[in-house]
Chain A
């Protein structure tokens, strides 16, 4: 047999190894599931890691209340098809419980508030490990984060006190109150994720593919799907365009890109030609400052 594996085979093997280490080392892990492509890929990897057994963790969705309906439907269908437990906790409830201030402005993103709900759900279920689909190619602070990332009881990340991570040995030992964020697809790029989706023939929510949508044109020229959460005024330009989403976070801060890519193959072709990164194209809240992501991660953001 061939002894030279394709790079996707290697990335897959590494990710499965990491998922099994989580299962072997932790008492109460969770898989954070947003309904986006990265966490969908994680569920496929978990099937490969643990079938014919059950997943040794529930899927946990922190619902901002600003999600795309297609994504929520996909989430529920996937959980049902997998026969795995799905835990949903709503940012809305956290806002009420903790008397947090709702974000204002024209594009009221609840992204920063997700951290509060996440920390609540970690406390509620005493999760000691949270698996997430973050990739190091997304952002330069993420490029610095370990695959097993130890967080204190407030969810904080300290980049200067990271554990060295040697060979493929992952150290998940923690003290009470701490938890570990685990990123099995750290070494994947956006293109790797799409190539894997193609290879594995993984179904995705429709909004990833080109479709007609009513959008607001932002001052930056980016297109934001029109939802009831946006505060529009008379000067806003509303257009109908052929768009798709590269990432499906909070609808109030996730821009669409113009595209009529109908298939995964089309999207891969799009990406090979794309000159703008995933975050640069779609996220409105990362560009606040040079260290925006680092600062949010320090405070417990995923």
Chain B
């Protein structure tokens, strides 16, 4: 059985939490005691508020909104699912980015009465920017528009125009009512004109993550050196294969040093294996006694190498209340590699509704900006569109340790200076 991680997006009151509640409830994933607790809270008006299944914090229940990301789990005979329930409020965009960074699929909820609105565009664009390739347009609250096919068709067309315009992956549109349970898990008799799958049927059939298609990438997290009488010289590089496949005997280059060696052994749980693939956690031993430490990358030498760079251009999702100004010094954490860095320029801010580029002096909380970044140590990076793992990094405040931004590598080193300027509204992935 495989695993699918998905995120729900959409505006406040579009019914995200209710939809998740409905998925859990109708797939019989809610325990009786949890249900009893819900029913106790709802005794006055008699109906169970399924949204309360996900809004777990006191402040969320007080305000009736989702503030922070919640993770929920359910399993069907076909698949295991991890749901990331991200907040819809504009002020919590950073939490939506948090959720989208790990998702394989995005469900974009639209209220059938409202149609495609600003938040629909914002969330779709952010999810696409973060590299999500599978989209579901869930046209919710169909019960409130008399299950009218024309309403659904109009919204599906509007959304298709949006995705076409921005060259985004096409979405699968599904009419449903989370509140009534129409077409969420079971097909609904209220929607006889709809012949496609229910939301759950669709989620069960979408392809899952395929990290092995990208070029091989491995980063050292920890060096294992037992130094015991039995193993005096053992030196294993422990880490996760971030993408692609590795095999015994393969030539690899150590970055940033540039030294080359050959993979002597790949160990999984102390057993030697011939090949290993992402996302396996392995220990790699090299034939030569080269200097390798935490943060170093072991990559195939040649055309598949990442770019080793101290200068790059990146899209940042700025997540701190403190603004970002050009020249600000901070830390960049590129997986297990850590370096001092400085933002040398803010090139522009992205209007997340239109993706138009706007001049800005500073980045504020929840802004999406394109910047130039200089790093003290060279980093082995890929473009985010080529590799979601090695194309991503975070910026960290050196003093407080807070995470300041999510970073997506857009251009590095030589290309960086010659990157063509795309037309203002174009966003292609």
**Interface residues in chain A, defined as those with a beta carbon under 8 Å from any beta carbon in chain B:** 1, 3-7, 9-14, 16-17, 20-21, 23-24, 47-54, 56, 136-137, 139-144, 150, 159-160, 162-169, 171, 173-175, 178, 186-187, 189, 191, 274-277, 279-281, 290-291, 294-295
A142–B73 Cα distance when bound, in Å, is 13
Top 5 A-B pairs, shortest CB-CB distance: A280-B33, A140-B56, A173-B401, A16-B281, A277-B31
Across the interface, B70 reaches (CB within 8 A) one of A53, A143, A187, namely A143
Q: Tell me, rounded to whole Å, the shortest Cβ–Cβ distance linking A18 to chain B.
A: 10
Evaluate whether A24 and B294 lie within 8 angstroms (CB atoms) in the complex, with A1-B245, A164-B406, A169-B333 already known.
yes
Selected interface stretch from B134-142, B172-180, B256-264, B269-277? B269-277
B43 at the interface (CB under 8 A from A): no
Most chain A CB inside 10 Å of its own CB: which residue of B54, B222, B275, B400: B222
A200, closest chain B residue (CB): B269
Q: Tell me, rounded to whole Å, the shortest Cβ–Cβ distance linking B380 to chain A.
A: 15
Q: Tell me, rounded to whole Å, the shortest Cβ–Cβ distance linking A177 to chain B.
A: 12
Find chain A residues with CB under 8 A from B250 CB.
none
Decide if B406 touches A52 in the complex (CB within 8 Å): no
Find chain A residues with CB under 8 A from B75 CB.
189, 191
Decide if A280 touches B31 in the complex (CB within 8 Å): yes
Q: Tell me, rounded to whole Å, the shortest Cβ–Cβ distance linking B94 to chain A.
A: 5
Find chain A residues with CB under 8 A from B231 CB.
52
B224 at the interface (CB under 8 A from A): yes
Across the interface, B31 reaches (CB within 8 A) one of A7, A167, A174, A276, namely A276
Find chain B residues with CB under 8 A from A140 CB.
53-56, 70
Find chain A residues with CB under 8 A from B385 CB.
none
Decide if B68 touches A159 in the complex (CB within 8 Å): yes
B230, closest chain A residue (CB): A52
Selected interface stretch from B95-103, B154-162, B305-313? B95-103
Decide if A20 touches B238 in the complex (CB within 8 Å): yes
Q: 7 interchain pairs (CB within 8 A)? A: A50-B222, A51-B270, A54-B226, A137-B72, A175-B401, A186-B71, A290-B41
**Interface residues in chain B, defined as those with a beta carbon under 8 Å from any beta carbon in chain A:** 1-3, 31-34, 37, 41, 53-59, 61, 67-73, 75, 80, 82, 94-95, 97-98, 101-102, 208, 210, 212-213, 221-222, 224-226, 231, 234, 236, 238-240, 245, 269-270, 275, 277, 279-281, 294, 319, 331, 333-336, 388-389, 392-394, 396, 399-403, 406
Evaluate whether A1 and B3 lie within 8 angstroms (CB atoms) in the complex, with A54-B226, A187-B71, A277-B34 already known.
no
Decide if A7 touches B224 in the complex (CB within 8 Å): no
Known: A52-B270, A140-B54. 10 other contacts (CB 8 A): A20-B240, A52-B224, A54-B226, A143-B56, A159-B57, A160-B59, A164-B95, A169-B393, A291-B58, A294-B58
Across the interface, B277 reaches (CB within 8 A) one of A1, A14, A52, A279, namely A1
Decide if B221 touches A23 in the complex (CB within 8 Å): yes
Across the interface, A166 reaches (CB within 8 A) one of B55, B58, B245, B406, namely B406
Q: Tell me, rounded to whole Å, the shortest Cβ–Cβ distance linking A22 to chain B.
A: 9
Evaluate whether A20 and B56 lie within 8 angstroms (CB atoms) in the complex, with A5-B279, A52-B231, A164-B319 already known.
no
A274–B31 Cα distance when bound, in Å, is 8
Decide if B71 touches A4 in the complex (CB within 8 Å): no
Decide if B226 touches A52 in the complex (CB within 8 Å): yes
Decide if A164 touches B98 in the complex (CB within 8 Å): yes
Decide if A144 touches B279 in the complex (CB within 8 Å): no
Evaluate whether A171 and B335 lie within 8 angstroms (CB atoms) in the complex, with A6-B1, A13-B279, A52-B226 already known.
no
A191–B76 Cα distance when bound, in Å, is 13
Find chain A residues with CB under 8 A from B294 CB.
24
Find chain A residues with CB under 8 A from B53 CB.
140
Across the interface, A165 reaches (CB within 8 A) one of B98, B239, B277, B401, namely B98
Decide if B97 touches A20 in the complex (CB within 8 Å): no
Decide if B281 touches A49 in the complex (CB within 8 Å): yes
Across the interface, A171 reaches (CB within 8 A) one of B234, B392, B394, namely B394
B293, closest chain A residue (CB): A24
Decide if B280 touches A13 in the complex (CB within 8 Å): yes
Decide if A7 touches B280 in the complex (CB within 8 Å): no
Find chain A residues with CB under 8 A from B61 CB.
290
Evaluate whether A162 and B281 lie within 8 angstroms (CB atoms) in the complex, with A48-B269, A173-B396, A191-B75 already known.
no
Decide if A21 touches B392 in the complex (CB within 8 Å): no
A287, closest chain B residue (CB): B37
Find chain B residues with CB under 8 A from A159 CB.
57, 59, 67-68
Decide if B275 touches A1 in the complex (CB within 8 Å): yes
A300–B32 Cα distance when bound, in Å, is 29
A50–B270 Cα distance when bound, in Å, is 9
A20–B392 Cα distance when bound, in Å, is 19
Find chain B residues with CB under 8 A from A23 CB.
221-222
Decide if A143 touches B34 in the complex (CB within 8 Å): no
Evaluate whether A21 and B221 lie within 8 angstroms (CB atoms) in the complex, with A3-B212, A171-B396, A187-B73 already known.
yes
Decide if A17 touches B2 in the complex (CB within 8 Å): no
Decide if B240 touches A16 in the complex (CB within 8 Å): yes
Across the interface, B101 reaches (CB within 8 A) one of A163, A167, A171, A291, namely A167
Find chain B residues with CB under 8 A from A187 CB.
71, 73, 82
Find chain A residues with CB under 8 A from B3 CB.
7, 10-11
Decide if B68 touches A162 in the complex (CB within 8 Å): yes
Decide if B2 touches A6 in the complex (CB within 8 Å): yes
Find chain A residues with CB under 8 A from B221 CB.
17, 20-21, 23-24
Across the interface, B279 reaches (CB within 8 A) one of A14, A165, A169, A290, namely A14
